Structure 1
Amino acid sequence: MPPKVDQAAIVILDIGRNVSTADEKGKKSFFEQARECVSRVIERKIMSQGKSLIGVMLLGSKKTQNNMAEQCDGAFRHIEFLAELQSPTWKLIRDLPEQPSKSRGDWMDALIVAADHFKNGLGSVKADSKKIILMTNFMSPTCLDENDIEKVLTGFKEEEFELDVIGLDIFEEHLKSEDIQLARKFVEATNGASASFEYAMQYLLYHKKKAVNVRPWNVDLSIGPNIKIPVSTYIRLRDEPPVKTWLKAVKDPVTLTASSREGIMSSRVHINTDNQEVVEADSVIKGYHYGQQIIPFAECDKSLLYESGEKSLNLYGFTNADNINWQSLTGDGLQYVFGRKGDKKAKLAVRCLTECLHELSLVGIVRRVYNRGNAPKMFAIMPVIDTNDYICLSMIPICYKEDIKYMTFPSTNLKRYECSKEQVDAFKDLIKAMDLMKAYDDSYEDTEAFPIAETVSPSVQYILDCIAFRAMNPGKPLPEPRDEIMMLFKRPPMVEKRSKEPLEKIKKLFTLTKVEVKTRDRKKPDQQVGAYVDNQTADIKPDNQINDVDMPSIKLPVTKKDNTVTKVGTVDPVNDFKLLIENGKPLVDISISMTEAIENLVYCNFDGIYTKALSAMKAFREECVKSDPTPYNNWIKIFKLELGDRNKDELMNLITENQLNFILKEENNSSTYENADGDESQLYETDTVPDATELTMNTEMNDFFNDM
């Protein structure tokens, strides 16, 4: 089977005298702009890693070197092939001429030479498309007559060539020369395109991924034992590295490039660490690390492996769309599910399923096995309805229970954190002002900023830029990111303009205080144990008096003896709680410090005596029975769950014996707990929640919540 490429292109670069001078002072000449554009085209083809061939022809060269000139003496002069059709290389960019010549060439002759090379130079290679890119200013008119030009145009149509003209937009109205009109005729007849250098370079600003043919994953979507819908899944989005594979090469010390004669050969051997002898591959038994121990795994043990089964896509059930949050999603991409191509019934079934999920606000949960030997994965299938394009299902992986980590944060549902209507409206105005769907004015083609699947990654672009720069400049340091990449980090102009006033309003409505980061100074000695007294009057007297003149005096903090209590402490929490109630402090605020004191008495207890903690709970409960049971019930629910995680069953029994469970409705009408039997049933919803994982937070985070 002959080799096949996606595209074969020949670039005709005019380097003659007609492109050597600039139209205006201080600007680049046509030749300089054309050279930069050709370099960018070749660079892009290299970085895309696609299957393509490219050749470069010099128009207006001093030399004449082409097949047509050899066949016709005196014709097709000043046309030279810098490189015939080949895979794009960095060397091809380096070989581009630095200066224009003083000769002139016929651009129509160059088209004929390029067409001849396509016919005779490709050999057995088959190309999906054949493109000729012409870069000239048409200041050197063609000498062919109309009959010959018509024959050339007919040949271009028969061979299905595509002609693109870059450098001048030949479809502009003010360009009316005969050569430009002739070029228009060729471009229109071959379904080509024309663009100026400015527009072409904007198109070539960013590197593009390799263009690949879409290959669907065909499978039957099984719903129950009897329903099977033939479907095809396509990858919509996927996170991929900029360069998938790297080829190692030896650096030539003279040219500072990859050596073409030397390479790296790698081999794998098994060595016995005891005697440093090489072990034959037949004598090696595979094993797996289990901690620090290696468990051997022989061929006979393969029967014990888990078998995921054949390729399949089974629907397990449906759930409400609100149950699938972004925290539950995982994976590195998104897939679309369509009915199998050519199967009208399958397409109709997928459409019906999609519309039903959309109307009922449901999401399907499926189990996917890509092929035999692959581990199964769970996916969520969600409806995608686009009236202009398609109606299908989107499929994205979801996490297993052990992959989800929960962090417990203190409640912010307090009156002190309630926002006023003016503050809420200020944030609504900010959200409207920062709408990315209307980020640009009418001077742009599209008013949307950062559209999905169209916005490039700045990091990927910079990595590819560095690779291209290193290939062309081996000994120079890497450059900073170019302006086009840095522009991706900037806010759109209209968004920035609209958001100024709402931001100023929010600054006035919200007063922010800077949180000081408290760090422990390890150079200072630790404070003496027992020197801290919490909300109590104490006289600290050392056991042994130290009479040392050089010993500095240390004044320990001692609270005043005026019975002023600001929070519930752990020394006498019951009296502190009663004093705060008598002083008229709100129960909602007191309950926070009270529950903190009780938890400190329980979690920091090493003797197993919980008398003080139970007394504090009793006082707290009695006060909540009189006024509002909500603070106690909300806290005891979380507290009992935490005790279960810490295996404090003894304290759980003491709480039940002392009747310190939930405040029931018969004790206070505001309670939601009806009877004693319902006490445990109220915990059912918390029992089904995955266990909260204790995660270590830094000091700044802890101080932030302490200040709250």
Structure 2
Amino acid sequence: MADKEATVYIIDVGESMADCHNGREESDLDFSMRYVWDKLSTTVAASRKTWTVGVLGLNTRKTDNKQAHEGLDGYEHISVLQELGPMSMTSLKELKSKIKPSGRSGGDAISAIVVAQCMIDAFTKKLKYNRKIVLVTNAETPFDDDSLEDVSSKLNESNIELVIIGVDFDDAEYGFKEEDKSSIKRRNEQALEKLISQCNLAVYGTMAQAVDELSVPRIKHVRPFKSYDGALTLGDPASYQSALSIHVERYFKTKRAAVPSASTVVIKQESGGHSQSTQTMDEEDVPMDGVEFSGVKQLRTYKVNDPDAPGGKKDVEMEDLARGYQYGSTVVPFSESDLNITKLETKKGLTVLGFVPFSNYEPFMNMGETGLIVAQRQNEEAEITLSALIHALHEVESYAVARYVQKDGAQPQILLLKPNPGIEDEFECLYDVPLPFAEDVRSYQFPPLDKVVTVTGNVLTEHRLLPSEDLNEAMSDYVDAMDISTFGADDDGKPSEYAPIEELYNPVIHRVNQAIRSRAVDPDGAIEPPAGILLRFSNPPEKLVEKAKPEIESLIEAAEIKKVPAKAQGKRWKKEAVKPLSGLDIDSLLGQSRKTKTISSENAVPEFKQTIATADDDATVEDAVKQMGQIIRKLIEDSFADLFYSRAAENLRVMREELLGLELPGMYNKFLTALKRSILSGELNGDRREMWFKHILAGKLSLITSEESEVSDVTEEQAKAFMK
């Protein structure tokens, strides 16, 4: 069961929090709320009802707390902005409108801590909770410090952790000290430090450090999850007494972290809070909180042709349909009875099939997440038996191969079981990884890297495709020079690993989480750039690259690397003709000028290219495009099923490339627009939509946009809309 948490944030919104200090362009309140909004949005994203949050305002205009209502003195200008309870997007939005500088002072920070402590005690009672109070202030407002011992003893009695984060508080460990500090703030800081020292659970720090640490990704710690509880067998215990059966438990050792998934929502209508669409879910079915959106429920209806039904179609139920699988250009029906025949009936179990030596296994065969197998708890017989199996595998240096079925009816998996005898870490277990089935393995043949085999069977060790000794040596020196295994430094300044595994974060997951939190707090604001810690290892260290510069230059020289100039886009009628080595004009000699010759459908691509290459005006190109367009349309029109679709698509691709090179995108865009109209309207001898979707759309033969050619007037958005 997840831990229950009760946290109360005390936010100072007094007059002094509206000022900017120490060269910052944002107020102390905005600077502090960076930390608070990040924590609150993380709680919202977790969506756990057991994580409760309350918010108190310090130095507010009004007074709204239980102690003040009971007539107690010293609790003025303290207001409950949110009672303890689950945090949602709705409450986050409402809270954002309340957190503003009040222009007042006079609130007592110690009294606010007492109010927060009473809120937590009243909410949690004697139940098991992780209790926490977070005070955010710049300590510019005087408060009464005579009751610090009573407050700390009460916090210790309730087992509440006190976290005090001050704006511009002095912190020797972080290396910050505020100059020209006011006497009131200096006295308050000393009092708060004294309060922290008297609490059993307490954290004290400066806001600058807290804000800096927001960029460090939060690692989600999860409890062990049991995926299997049953027998590990060797042989068939039901048939043979000599068979081995051990009661074991399997847990996940590693688990793939996924990017947060999105949900489809619709905007609610003001009347009744529901959209008029019948696809909107009922209020109680909506899995999210909020006042602006509702979840969407998918509704499907199935229709078949029926001449007797109104409109020529009738509705059918889902139960009357059969699954259909595409086989070529046809659909093969597959009934439920056929599916039951092909479905494998399995029983829950973990059975050892055989053993394989360490040397016969390649690590690249690992197919997924790692598991951990241990003996059943409080089962001494299972512990002894499993320990014997683990040590036996270790002594003979072998892995076990097992068939694993998580539950009845589940698909079987083949697992490799690795023994861990606990010699180094005093923990005995079997680690497991999934292995591939035969159809999962793809074998590809590549030519050798150290030799070239000719057609006649001769073996060459020196060839233009093989690296020379100088190149091998230069590459070896370069790899050694770029070694980062000891490029880092530890706390004592000694060489250490540059990129330790605990500092490597998945930039996709944490960047998306950062963007979601930012958008939740400020729906209209700009999303901040990725945190530097996510991009820290995206490029090699500059000092190491500079240090390895001689090796890099030697490698460039040995590999004879030369910079290839960018291919200039062809200009109309200024294309440089390719001159043969003989210096002869082959086209003139053979009399095969493409200026006046008709393009044939049998040899359309080379003839079209030759015509474009020798064209010296727009009229010649326009005539060639017209002929090629007629050939494309004819291929589609005469095609039996999809027989000629590939040829038509290839001709269209060549037309696009040539016209793009001549900077004549308008001709291509005009032809493609007319071709789409003809295909979708059925002008080309029936339904030819497969040509559009599977060859033109999938082949990325869209309109030429302004990003590809400066003279095109088609934008990227217009091209996408056209292809839809």
Bin for the TM-score computed over the shorter chain: 0.5 to 0.7
On the 8 A contact 1:44/1:208 being kept in 2, the answer is no
Rate the CA distance shift 1:435–1:172 in 2: closer, same or farther, 3 A.
Answer: closer
* Aligned residue in 2 for 1:366: 402
TM norm structure 1: 0.62
* Aligned residue in 1 for 2:113: 111
Instruction: Return the offset for 1:375.
Output: 0.6
On the 8 A contact 1:380/1:397 being kept in 2, the answer is yes
* Aligned residue in 2 for 1:468: 517
Output the CA distance in 2 between the equivalents of 1:551 and 1:153: 96
On the 8 A contact 2:259/2:508 being kept in 1, the answer is no
Output the CA distance in 1 between the equivalents of 2:441 and 2:19: 65
Rate the CA distance shift 1:493–1:548 in 2: closer, same or farther, 3 A.
Answer: closer
From 82, 99, 102, the counterpart of 2:104: 102
Output the CA distance in 2 between the equivalents of 1:551 and 1:25: 73
Superposed, which structure 2 residues align to 1:70-109 within 5 Å? 70-88=69-87, 89=89, 90-92=92-94, 94-95=96-97, 97-99=99-101, 101-109=103-111
Is it true that 1:293 corresponds to 2:294 in the alignment? no
Rate the CA distance shift 1:471–1:191 in 2: closer, same or farther, 3 A.
Answer: closer
Q: Which moved more, 1:484-493 or 1:470-479?
A: 470-479
Rate the CA distance shift 1:284–1:335 in 2: closer, same or farther, 3 A.
Answer: same
Output the CA distance in 1 between the equivalents of 2:190 and 2:517: 35
Superposed, which structure 2 residues align to 1:78-477 within 5 Å? 78-88=77-87, 89=89, 90-92=92-94, 94-95=96-97, 97-99=99-101, 101-121=103-123, 128-143=129-144, 145-146=146-147, 149-167=148-166, 172=172, 177=187, 180=190, 183-186=193-196, 189-208=199-218, 212-217=222-227, 218-225=229-236, 226-244=243-261, 246=263, 248-250=265-267, 259-260=291-292, 264-274=296-306, 276-281=313-318, 283-289=319-325, 291=327, 292-298=330-336, 304-331=341-368, 333-344=369-380, 346-347=382-383, 350=386, 353-354=389-390, 357=393, 360-383=396-419, 387-388=424-425, 390-414=427-451, 415-416=461-462, 417=466, 420=469, 423=472, 427=476, 430-431=479-480, 433-436=482-485, 438-442=487-491, 447-452=496-501, 455-474=504-523
Instruction: Return the offset for 1:206.
Output: 4.5
* Aligned residue in 1 for 2:539: 490
On the 8 A contact 1:319/1:363 being kept in 2, the answer is yes
Output the CA distance in 1 between the equivalents of 2:11 and 2:19: 15
On the 8 A contact 1:335/1:395 being kept in 2, the answer is yes
The one-character-per-residue Cα deviations of 1:49-107 (angstroms, maximum 9, x if unpaired) are 44412222111112111111111343311111222223333415633524353313211
AA partner of residue 401 (structure 2): I
AA partner of residue 249 (structure 1): V
On the 8 A contact 1:85/1:122 being kept in 2, the answer is no
Output the CA distance in 1 between the equivalents of 2:548 and 2:419: 34
Q: Which moved more, 1:46-55 or 1:493-502?
A: 493-502
Output the CA distance in 2 between the equivalents of 1:164 and 1:315: 53
On the 8 A contact 2:145/2:191 being kept in 1, the answer is no
TM norm structure 2: 0.61
On the 8 A contact 2:486/2:497 being kept in 1, the answer is yes
Superposed, which structure 2 residues align to 1:25-44 within 5 Å? 25-26=23-24, 30-44=28-42
Output the CA distance in 2 between the equivalents of 1:357 and 1:244: 42
AA partner of residue 511 (structure 2): Y
On the 8 A contact 1:48/1:208 being kept in 2, the answer is no
Rate the CA distance shift 1:60–1:176 in 2: closer, same or farther, 3 A.
Answer: closer
Root-mean-square deviation (Å) = 4.4
On the 8 A contact 2:143/2:188 being kept in 1, the answer is no
The one-character-per-residue Cα deviations of 1:457-491 (angstroms, maximum 9, x if unpaired) are 11222222333344445456766545443334233
On the 8 A contact 1:330/1:396 being kept in 2, the answer is yes
Rate the CA distance shift 1:360–1:167 in 2: closer, same or farther, 3 A.
Answer: farther
Instruction: Return the offset for 1:185.
Output: 4.4
On the 8 A contact 1:321/1:362 being kept in 2, the answer is yes
* Aligned residue in 2 for 1:697: none
On the 8 A contact 2:37/2:521 being kept in 1, the answer is no
Instruction: Return the offset for 1:216.
Output: 1.5
On the 8 A contact 1:249/1:258 being kept in 2, the answer is no
Output the CA distance in 1 between the equivalents of 2:270 and 2:507: 33
Instruction: Return the offset for 1:290.
Output: 5.9
On the 8 A contact 1:35/1:96 being kept in 2, the answer is no
On the 8 A contact 2:235/2:352 being kept in 1, the answer is yes
Give the number of aligned pairs. Answer: 521
* Aligned residue in 2 for 1:12: 10
Superposed, which structure 2 residues align to 1:546-565 within 5 Å? none
Output the CA distance in 2 between the equivalents of 1:181 and 1:343: 55
Instruction: Return the offset for 1:144.
Output: 5.1
On the 8 A contact 1:50/1:211 being kept in 2, the answer is no
Instruction: Return the offset for 1:386.
Output: 8.4
1:467 partner SS: helix
Output the CA distance in 2 between the equivalents of 1:485 and 1:330: 27
On the 8 A contact 1:272/1:278 being kept in 2, the answer is yes
Instruction: Return the offset for 1:9.
Output: 0.9
Rate the CA distance shift 1:474–1:507 in 2: closer, same or farther, 3 A.
Answer: same
AA partner of residue 146 (structure 2): D
2:267 partner SS: coil
1:85 partner SS: strand
AA partner of residue 220 (structure 1): A
Rate the CA distance shift 1:187–1:322 in 2: closer, same or farther, 3 A.
Answer: farther
Output the CA distance in 2 between the equivalents of 1:441 and 1:503: 28
The one-character-per-residue Cα deviations of 1:660-683 (angstroms, maximum 9, x if unpaired) are xxxxxxxxxxxxxxxxxxxxxxxx
Output the CA distance in 1 between the equivalents of 2:503 and 2:479: 26
* Aligned residue in 2 for 1:64: 63
On the 8 A contact 1:57/1:82 being kept in 2, the answer is yes
Output the CA distance in 1 between the equivalents of 2:293 and 2:366: 49
Structure 2: tracts of 5 or more residues without a match: 178-184, 237-242, 274-288, 307-311, 452-460, 571-588, 596-724
Identity among equivalent pairs (%): 19
Output the CA distance in 1 between the equivalents of 2:594 and 2:300: 68
The one-character-per-residue Cα deviations of 1:412-433 (angstroms, maximum 9, x if unpaired) are 3322247649945862773474
The one-character-per-residue Cα deviations of 1:124-178 (angstroms, maximum 9, x if unpaired) are 9x663111111224444432534xx444333322322111122377885999857
Rate the CA distance shift 1:264–1:14 in 2: closer, same or farther, 3 A.
Answer: same
Rate the CA distance shift 1:123–1:251 in 2: closer, same or farther, 3 A.
Answer: farther
